[in-house]
């Protein structure tokens, strides 16, 4: 069984690389936090292990291209955030 990795700073805010897993052991999401805000590359998966979406955060906001996939992992849409 995989263990969720959820580091925090002194204030108890999410800080560092987070990895969380479904009860079946498959990766749910991984991404970086800085002082409680998502920052950097981000990926999220569905329970069967297929990529659901990916993109990048800057200071808690989506930034740049984001890809969204269907339940089979096939690309459905691509959005661009500013």
How far apart CA 81 and CA 33 sit, in angstroms, is: 19
pLDDT, average across residues 14-41: 96
Q: Is pLDDT at 1 greater than 70 in this prediction?
A: no
pLDDT, average across residues 65-80: 95
Chain mean pLDDT for the chain: 95
How far apart CA 27 and CA 77 sit, in angstroms, is: 22
How is the chain split into domains, by residue range? 16-81
The reported pTM is: 0.85
Most distant CA pair in the chain, distance: 40
pLDDT digits (tens, 9 = 90+) for 37-58: 999 999 999 999 999 999 999 9
Q: Is pLDDT at 62 greater than 90 in this prediction?
A: yes
Hey, what CATH class is 16-81 in? mainly beta
Contact 63, 79 (CB under 8 A): no
């Amino acid at each position: 069984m995989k263990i969720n990795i959820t580091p925090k700073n002194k204030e108890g805010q999410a800080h560092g690389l987070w990895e969380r897993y479904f009860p079946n052991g498959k990766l749910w999401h991984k991404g970086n936090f800085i002082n409680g805000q998502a920052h950097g590359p981000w990926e999220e998966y569905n329970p069967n292990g297929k990529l659901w979406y990916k993109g990048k955060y800057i200071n808690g906001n989506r930034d740049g291209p984001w890809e969204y996939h269907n339940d089979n992992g096939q690309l459905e849409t691509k959005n661009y955030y500013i």
